[in-house]
Structure 1
Amino acid sequence: MRSLKDAQLGAFTFFASALPHDVCGSNGLPLTPNSIKILGRFQILKTITHPRLCQYVDISRGKHERLIVVAEHYENCLSIFQKPENAPSAEKVLQIAYEVLEGLEFMNKNGLVHRALGPNNVLMDCKGNVKLAKFGLYHMTDHGADVDFPIGYPSYLAPEVIAQGSFHPSDPSRDEAPLPSGPKSDVWSLGILLFELCAGRRLLQNIDISERLKFILTLGCMDDIVTVLAEEHGCLDTIKELPDSVLELLRKCLTFLPSKRPTPAELLQDPVFNSISCHYTPFQKPVSLFSSSLRCAHLVLPDDISDLCKDNDEDYLSERAIDEVYHLWCLAGGDLEKELTNQEIIQSKPPISTLPNFVLEDGETFGQGRDRSFLLDDTTVTLSLCQLRNRLKDVAREAYYPLLEDEQSSLPQSNSSNELSAAVTLPLIIRERDTEYQLIRIILFDRLLKAYPYKKTLVWKEARVDIPPLVRGLAWAGLLGIEGDIQAKYEGIDKDTPIPTDRQIEVDIPRCHQYDELLSSPQGHIKFRRVLKAWVVSHPDLVYWQGLDSLCAPFLYLNFNNEALAYACMSAFIPKYLYNFFLKDNSHVIQEYLTVFSQMIAFHDPELSNHLNEIGFIPDLYAIPWFLTMFTHVFPLHKIFHLWDTLLLGNSSFPFCIGVAILQQLRDRLLANGFNECILLFSDLPEIDIERCVRESISLFCWTPKSATYRQHAQPPKVAGDNGFAKTSTYYSSDYQDMPKTDLSREPLSLVDLKAEVSPRISAEDLIDLCELSLSGSSKRNKTGKPKIVAVDIRTAEDFNRGHISGSINIPFNTTFGPENEVVQCPAAGGLQSYRGRVIVVISHNMKSAAMFAAHLVKMSFPRVCNLDGGINKLKPTGLLTVPSPQI
């Protein structure tokens, strides 16, 4: 998106054709509304950026198939020259023609045809340069098939377009749609516009429309159409006075037969423009963030660097991208329908008057069809930015150019800096609607992402605060470590050859997040299919499982116009969080994952774990869709965005904490219900507070030792510095699997042995780290000043006295359990009750005894209980065991 500069934001509206309600498609599902189809096709128009084209910004879908389009807008248009007193010079006519052709040629390269050229759609900026507006109307409406009005103005339509006549899919008199208009139809329209500029008057305006069309079609019999038009409108003398170059250009544009008429690209090379083209620099498309080209290759500094430091009370908001300004306009209270209603473009009627018809009891029908006069109003309403500017008036100019290396404050200073600092502590949903706060966060992220991957660490740091919705797609890509020429890689994947998975993909897509207008559009389905198929084809060792479409949905939504980035993000996300989940036989991976999750429930909430185990409500019954889709199957997209903002900062064990946090929100209902009620509860999951879920997940993660979630089927260790993973974070740490393995590391367990233990195991490394044994015996303490961990040695007193962990307490196993492993004394009686709430590490020389002791503590509702993997034998070689001093 280019900056706003001297442009304005404009909006226009039209209706899509209504579909019958009682008709279904070939798949048995209701037909997709035409407004949804238009909305999907519109998205690609936002990526079409050229100096001669007005930038499209957004499209909004309202009631009764109404659509409102927002785009770059200028007040002046070509109509200002279509008066005798304002007739432009021959040089100006050639300049206008050249600039219009530049815009048309770029459109043609992107597969677009204007088809709606007219004086009101050729805008002029403050420098007098051409800006083509409404150039996407023909494309977004599927060449006019999805609307009930013709695309284009009869006076400017090419003869071949008029000869085809009007067409609508519901018209029974037409068997098939006419061929779409090509680039040459716009050249005829340009010729009529240029003729009007030269003649100083509008053509064919004072005769009936049918006569206009008949006259245009009869021009095919004329040798010199320019002369005939001049004679018809009484301006022959004016036309004859034109330079030969202009006359020749008009004749080439107004060539009746399309086969002999040049295209915009061919006209640009015409000698008539030799004196003009030398003043124009060929347009170079900006280099994307993820490519093999240097993004800084075309940066040019001014001759005098001091020019950058001058302050002329500039309008800093106008330097921001158009989509940013529109996003902030909406946050500042902007309402598209209200703006159009105030200008009487949208006219409200009493509800009964808007009914197309009504039927009485005897079956008699009254009423009329929809008022067709409101289907298309060519008026573009300028959106006032006064309210937005007033909202941002206290933002200091330094906020628009933050210093990335300034360590004193992460928030730019302004007249309301105290309010901005306070905004960080507000709930996320409020921060996302705060205009001033979002402006500063967007600017900061924009600068950081432009410096990616050099500023990757700062992207991580700022993402821990929050991620502005406007830049979430690129921010996620940065967090996932996406780099390189992703487009070339994506284009190199065969997405067209049929494969066995195609059928399942076709079945799943129409059911995946179809409440969302964008993903439910035909274009959304096409993109879904291509990205999913690209992943399946590029991962031959994996297979398509149901749920992969749900995983794809957030990435596709955020990168709708960049399939390559959606694919790259998805390809980086799956191995990090769902390694080997999509094997053909993934039962061993899933079972290990669910077993570790069960241990996490017992670790953090033993009372809930005991209840769920007693009623037989195991994670296999409800948690597989959670983890297989990383919660995208159970939450709507707006909640997934907030959840994944944090998930992407964490390692592969963070989803366990999210799962426990969800259960804790449902805790009271789960504890009060039996098996059947719990099944019903999860069949229609109640509303979950995502912000609370994220907050509690982080807390749970902080309390979970790194090795407690160790899985032997997790992703193998990555090369150090692979993706800059959370090096600056306090609670989002790298995976335990990524750490170098030593003699103190946790050993893998068979699935049978893992399932036999209620509590998780932790490694000797974790125990040493948590107890800080290497730091002169000092212990790690939490905010209350108490040790965060307590080691419980269950060996006999004699073994304990021969050597133990400093600070550990001794509760011999044989004093708690009898010869038949029956409980003879509650461990709480041994003074363990005072340690409730801390991480309790059970240490023994026999892992079976440790597991039994830990399971009993869980049964007694002791939270945060775990076992030391390998027992005391793992610690003996370290020299960290102490012997009590002899009594004197």
Structure 2
Amino acid sequence: MRPLRDAQLGAFTFFASALPHDVCGSNGLPLTPNSIKILGRFQLLKTITHPRLCQYVDITRGKHERLVVVAEHYESSLNDFQKLGATVSTDKVLQIAYETLEGLEFMNKHGMVIKCIIAMLLTYIVFVLLSVHVCVHHGADVDFPIGYPSYLAPEVIAQGPAHHSDTSQGDNPLPSGPKTDVWSLGVLLFELCTGRGLLQNIEISEKLKFILTLGCIDDIVTVLAEEHGCLDAIRDLPKNVVTLLRKCLTFQPSRRPTPADLLADPVFEGVSCLYTLYQQPVGLFSSSLRCAHLELPEDIGQLCKDDDEDYLGERSIDEVYHLWCLAGGDLEKELTNKEIIQSKPPVCTLPNFLLEDGESFGQGRDRSFLLDDTTVTLSLCQLKNRLKDVSGECHLLTESPNELSCTVNLPLIIRERDTEYQLIRIILFDRLLKAYPYKKNHVWKEARVDIPPLVRGLAWAALLGVEGDIQAKYDAIDKDTSIPTDRQIEVDIPRCHQYDELLSSPQGHRKFRRVLKAWVVSHPELVYWQGLDSLCAPFLWLNFNNEALAYACMSAFIPKYLYNFFLKDNSHVIQEYLTVFSQMIAFHDPELSNHLNEIGFIPDLYAIPWFLTMFTHVFPLHKIFHLWDTLLLGNSSFPFCIGVAILQQLRDRLLANGFNECILLFSDLPEIDIERCVRESISLFCWTPKSATYRQHAQPPKAQADRSASCFGKTATHYSSDYQDMPKTDLSREPLALRDLKAEVSPRISAEDLIDLCELSAGGQTKKSKAGKPKILAVDIRSIEDFGRGHISGSVNIPYSTAFSADGELAQCPATGTLQSFRGRVIVVIGHSMKSAAMFATHLVKVNYPRVATLDGGINKMKHTGLLTVPSPQI
């Protein structure tokens, strides 16, 4: 995006055609409103950035098919010269023509034409009707004609208007070619040279008739000059200017040059040398160098010394608009204040109808539904006032400033609406992301605080480790050839997050289809399962204009969190995942686990859509964004913690209900507080030993584990990577058959985790925490004799045979008193056999002891570590 600098933000509005309410499409679904179609097509215009083109920023949809467009805007334009009747110097005419053609050629390369240029600025070309023409399907989705007859090329007039009800052209009305814009440019240049408004005082029918009669005339420029009494002005023009006008105003499109042809024409020999070829900035994910032409000032410290410098003007246009909205900006209010939007009483909007005698009642056609190209300038005074206390140093941030410490503690929804806070966070992330991947660790660090919504798409890509020339990889995938899953994709897309205007648009459906097909084609070992579309939705929404990035993020996300979930036969993967999830429920909330098991409400009945879609099937997108901001910081076990946190929010209702009521509860999931869910998920994650969620069907170890990728603070550095990524040793957890895994209520942890969590020293001594207690309690269930031969320092001995009474309660003894004092901390059961340890742990869960685990491999795993201690003989 180009910096705002001396530009302003402007807004104009128009209406899309209303569709009949009782008509459905071929698929039986209601027709997509034309305003949503336009909204989807408009997104392409936001990607068009060129020095000669004004930047389009946003489009919003209001009531009754109203659309409001926001774009870069300048107060002065060449219309001012026309109104004054002034002429422009010939050198300036050639300069304007060349710059205009540069902008036109750039648009033509992107497959777009304007059809009618109606206003130009001295340094930028502004196409007010650009958004209307491109987005409204060549005029078929609005009730007003596109363009002014005075400026339309003859072939456009001959083509006639396009209507949404006209089926003769099918779904693809005849587009206008690049040469139509050359004719419009020729008319504008003629007006600049002569100071006359061409055909301004003639009726429309006469205008059309006159333009069409020019087809039999060789020298159209001379005829136009004679018609308007400015032949002398044309004769005084330099030869190259007259030649340019004649080439632009060539009646036959086949003989008229394109913008690219004119740029290479000799008439611009003295002008073209003044301009350098525009090169589009290199994107974040590319094989080209992003800083090849970077120039830094000699003294960087002088960058922020000027107190009068307009730092806001150096931010990109989309950033300024985003901050303007946060500062209380309201588009419809601005347009209403300028009387562009006028409300009428309902009685004044009754339709017009005729009686048999010809007498009419009601209103005629409402002129407000026609196009009013008046652009309203959006005032930035309120925004600048909100940001007046933001110092210049904040624009050179490399880490969060201390003054944000108070704001950081506020709820996330408040932080995302705080103008000053968002400006500083956007600046910081912008600098870090431009230095990606070299500043990857810093991106992780700042993402733990929060991610600004404006940069969420790029931030997620950085967190997922996306690198390289993603566009080339995406382009190399065949997304057009029919494949067997096409039918299922077509069925799923119209049901996926269709409450969202962007994803429900036809353009959104096309992009959905392309990204999903690209993933299916590029992963032949996997298959399309229902739910893949929901996984794609957040990435597509955030990267709507960058399908390659959406695909790359999705391709990096699935192996990390959903490895082998999309196999043709994924039953063994799903069952292992759900079993580990059951163990996590028992680990963190044994009372809830006992109740759900008693009524038979197992995770198979409700959790498969959760994990297969990583909760995108059950939560709206705005909640998924906040949830995934944290999910992407965690490893593949973090979804278990999210699942447990959701259950704990519904805990009281689940404990009070039986099987049928729980089924009904999950069929229409109640409102979930996502911020609370995230907060509790992090706490659960930090309390979970990393080997407790070990799955043998998880992603295999990477060649080089990323040790930086995930931590939620200093207390969570122990969980900085997946357990599968850690080097395997004799103390690592062993794979377990699914049948044996299901037989155990509590999770197993590895000897490595036990040593780490007990903080055992080389001499077998247990280090004390600041509170005076170890982080966990090791419970040795062997006999007293075996315990005396060697045990873990700090462990307590509760022999299995004497631990529980006949009614299943813990027997009273000093050791069980110690156990009770450690209630709430991690309790690891250690025995000779895993069967007895698992049974002991099950008993503890039944009496509602939380955070109970067993040591994988039992005491035998510890015998060769040198960490077992023998009590000193008493003298």
Give the 3 Å change call, closer, same or farther, for CA 200–487 of structure 1 in structure 2.
same
Identity %: 81
Alpha-carbon spacing, 1:722–1:319, altered in 2? closer, same or farther (3 Å): same
Q: Which residue of 2 is the match for residue 228 of structure 1?
A: 223
Give the alignment of 1:744-783 within 5 angstroms: 744-774=731-761, 779=766
Offset from partner CA, 1:329-349 (integer Å, 9 cap, x none):
000000000000000000012
Deviation at 1:274, TM superposition (A): 0.3
Distance (Å, rounded) in 2 between the aligned partners of 1:715 and 1:298: 41
Question: CA offsets per residue over residues 615-669 of structure 1, 9 Å max, x none?
Answer: 0000000000000000000000000000000000000000000000000000000
Q: For residues 692 and 35 of structure 2, what CA distance do their matches in structure 1 show?
A: 51
Partner in structure 2 of residue 720 of structure 1: 704
Match of 1:808 among 778, 795, 809: 795
What are the superposed Cα offsets for residues 715-754 of structure 1, whole Å, 9 maximum, x if unpaired?
Answer: 0001225585237953252001100011111111000000
**Does the 8 Å CA contact 1:10/1:72 hold for their aligned counterparts?**
yes
Deviation at 1:304, TM superposition (A): 8.3
The equivalences for 1:90-169 within 5 A come to 90-118=90-118, 121-125=119-123, 130-169=125-164
Question: Residues of 1 paired with 2:364 and 2:28: CA distance?
Answer: 28
Alpha-carbon shift at residue 234 of structure 1 (Å): 1.1
For each residue in 1:144-173, what CA deviation from the matched residue of structure 2 results, as whole angstroms up to 9, or x when unmatched?
111111111111001111112222122589
1:433 to 394, 417, 424: 417
Alignment pair present for 1:267 and 2:277: no
TM-score (norm 1): 0.94
Quick one: structure 1 residues 176 and 331, their matched pair in 2 at CA, closer, same or farther if it must change by over 3 Å? closer
The TM-score with structure 2 as length reference comes to 0.96
1:314 deviation in Å? Answer: 1.0
1:217 aligns with 2:176: no
Q: Is the partner of 1:157 in helix, strand or coil? A: coil
Alpha-carbon offset, residue 302 of structure 1: 5.5
Is contact 1:815–1:824 with CA below 8 Å preserved after alignment? no
Describe the superposition over 1:90-145 as per-residue Cα deviations: whole angstroms up to 9, x where unpaired: 11111111111111111101101011211xx21234xxx54544433211111111
Residue 6 (1) aligns with residue 1 (2): no
Instruction: Tell me the equivalent position of 2:400.
Output: 411
**1:602 pairs with 2:597:** no
> What letter corresponds to residue 412 of structure 1 in structure 2?
P
- SS of the residue 1:611 aligns to: helix
CA contact (8 A) 1:622 1:682 kept: yes
Partner of 1:641: 625
- Checking the alignment, whether the CA contact within 8 Å between 2:706 and 2:721 is kept in structure 1 is no
1:472 aligns with 2:459: no
Residue from 288, 295, 298 that aligns with 2:283 = 288
Letter of the aligned partner of 2:311 in structure 1? Y
Structure 1 segment 381-530 matched on structure 2, within 5 A: 381-402=376-397, 404=398, 410-412=399-401, 417=403, 420-530=404-514
Equivalent residue runs for 1:711-860 within 5 Å: 711-721=695-705, 724-726=708-710, 730=714, 731=716, 732-774=719-761, 779=766, 784-816=771-803, 823=808, 826=811, 830-831=816-817, 832-860=819-847
Question: SS at 1:124's partner residue?
Answer: coil
Deviation at 1:824, TM superposition (A): 7.8
Count of residue pairs brought into register by the alignment: 865
Partners of 1:493 and 1:61 in 2: CA distance:
34
The match for 2:861 is 874
Unaligned runs of 5+ in 2: 355-359
Q: CA deviation at 1:868?
A: 0.5
Q: 1:834 to 1:655 in 2, by over 3 A?
A: same
The whole-number CA distance in structure 2 between the counterparts of 1:677 and 1:518 is 36
When residues 209 and 173 of structure 1 are mapped into structure 2, their CA distance, relative to the original with a 3 A threshold, is farther
Instruction: Please name the residue that 1:202 is paired with.
Output: 197
- Alpha carbons of 1:305 and 1:859: their partners in 2 closer, same or farther (altered >3 Å)? closer
Pair 1:569–1:38, CA change in 2 (3 A): same
Match of 2:357 in 1: none
Quote the RMSD (CA, aligned, Å): 2.1
What are the equivalent positions in structure 2 for 1:232-247 lying under 5 Å apart? 232-247=227-242
Query: What is the aligned partner in structure 1 of residue 16 from structure 2?
Result: 16
2-structure distance, mates of 1:173, 1:384 = 45
CA distance in 2, matches of 1:785, 1:462: 33
In structure 2, distance between residues paired with 1:762 and 1:154: 78
Task: Check the 8 A contact 2:705/2:721 in 1, yes or no.
Answer: no
Query: Distance in 1 between the 2:522 and 2:84 partners?
Result: 64
Q: CA deviation digits over 1:825-854, x for unaligned, max 9?
A: 547883222221111100000111111110
Give 5+ residue unaligned stretches, structure 1.
360-364, 405-409
In the aligned structure 2, how far is the partner of 1:512 from the partner of 1:828? Answer: 58
Aligned partners of 2:172 and 2:871: how far apart in 1? 94
Q: How does 1:659-678 map to 2 (within 5 A)?
A: 659-678=643-662
Q: Give the Cα–Cα distance (whole angstroms) in 1 for the partners of residues 172 and 442 of structure 2.
A: 54
Instruction: Assess, with a 3 A threshold, how the Cα gap between structure 1 residues 638 and 309 changes in structure 2: closer, same or farther.
Output: closer
Give SS of 1:198's match: helix
Number of the residue aligned with 1:67 = 67
* 2:348 aligned to which of 318, 338, 353: 353
CA-to-aligned-CA distance 1:504-553 (integer Å, 9 cap, x gap): 00000000000000000001000000000000000000000000000000
Q: Which amino acid in the other structure matches residue 863 of structure 2? A: K
Give the distance between the partners of 1:728 and 1:591, measured in 2 at CA.
29
Alpha carbons of structure 1 residues 41 and 884: separation in structure 2 relative to 1, 3 Å: same
Deviation of 1:80 after TM superposition, in Å, equals: 2.1
2:548 partner SS = helix
Give yes or no for the alignment of 1:39 onto 2:49: no
1:123 alignment partner AA:
L
Residues 5-51 of structure 1 show CA distances to partners (whole Å, capped at 9, x for unaligned) of: 11000001000000000000000000000000000001011110000
Contact 2:85/2:196, CA 8 A, preserved across alignment = no
Cα gap change, 1:32/1:358 in structure 2, threshold over 3 Å: closer, same or farther?
farther
Q: 1:678/1:367 Cα in 2 relative to 1: closer, same or farther (>3 Å)?
A: farther
Deviations along 1:807-828, one digit per CA (max 9) or x if unpaired, are: 111110111358xx98485478
Letter in 2 for 1:701: F
The answer (yes or no) to whether the contact 1:7–1:74 under 8 Å persists in 2 is yes
Whichever residue aligns with residue 540 of structure 1, its letter is P
Distance 2:498 2:632 in 1: 24
Q: Distance in 1 between matches of 2:498 and 2:680?
A: 30
- Say if 2:663 is the partner of 1:679: yes
